[in-house]
Amino acid sequence: MLLALALLAIVPGFPEVPVLASDTRFAPGTEDMAVARTVGGIASYTRWPEPPPTLRICVSGAARHADRLGEAARTAGRPVTVRRLGVGTALAGCDLLYLGAMRPAENLGMIRAMHGRAILSIAESDPACRGGAMFCLAVGASSLSFRINIDAISRSALRVDPRVQRVATLAGGGN
């Protein structure tokens, strides 16, 4: 699904909301920056029960595109801190969990550790979006898209603006 649309650029009630698109084109070599913009955009359309003044991003697993996640602040609309976690580390102090490649059992353990907590999850290495994360990135040579996992979002304490669904590919049968 190639959408060259900058949907949600002007959203009533959100005067300074960043652009969020399901298919973002970028110059080769700028994948990390495109990922940072997309992660920040997704976070900007997410509502926490108690909004964090600083978005605390925790990175776990072998993440290939996490080096510039600190720049997600531009599209997240708030300051961002980034820290790396070992697989299986406690998620205290995380508002967003960015999952890199890891064994399925390790991924499942991280997803289970989020249950009942207000943590947004974004997977970098699960293009089919079957590992339990709320959002799953598909990073290509010059494009970036994402899928959403409605089940994971609905079980979360977070609220994701439904307009995000319009620009994402639904995981699990609604393609």
Model confidence at 4: pLDDT above 70: no
Q: pLDDT, tens digit, for every residue of 117-174?
A: 999 999 998 988 999 999 999 988 778 889 999 999 999 999 999 888 777 765 544 4
pLDDT for the residue numbered 18: 35
Question: Are 146 and 38 a contacting pair, CB within 8 Å?
Answer: yes
Here the tokens at position 40 are 């920040």
User: What is the DSSP code string of 79-109?
Assistant: -EEEEEE-TT---TT-SEEEE-B--HHHHHH
pLDDT for the residue numbered 62: 95
Average pLDDT, rounded, for the chain: 82
Q: pLDDT, tens digit, for every residue of 9-64?
A: 323 333 233 334 455 677 767 899 999 999 999 999 999 999 999 999 999 999 99
pLDDT for the residue numbered 23: 58
pLDDT for the residue numbered 64: 94
Question: Are 118 and 128 a contacting pair, CB within 8 Å?
Answer: no
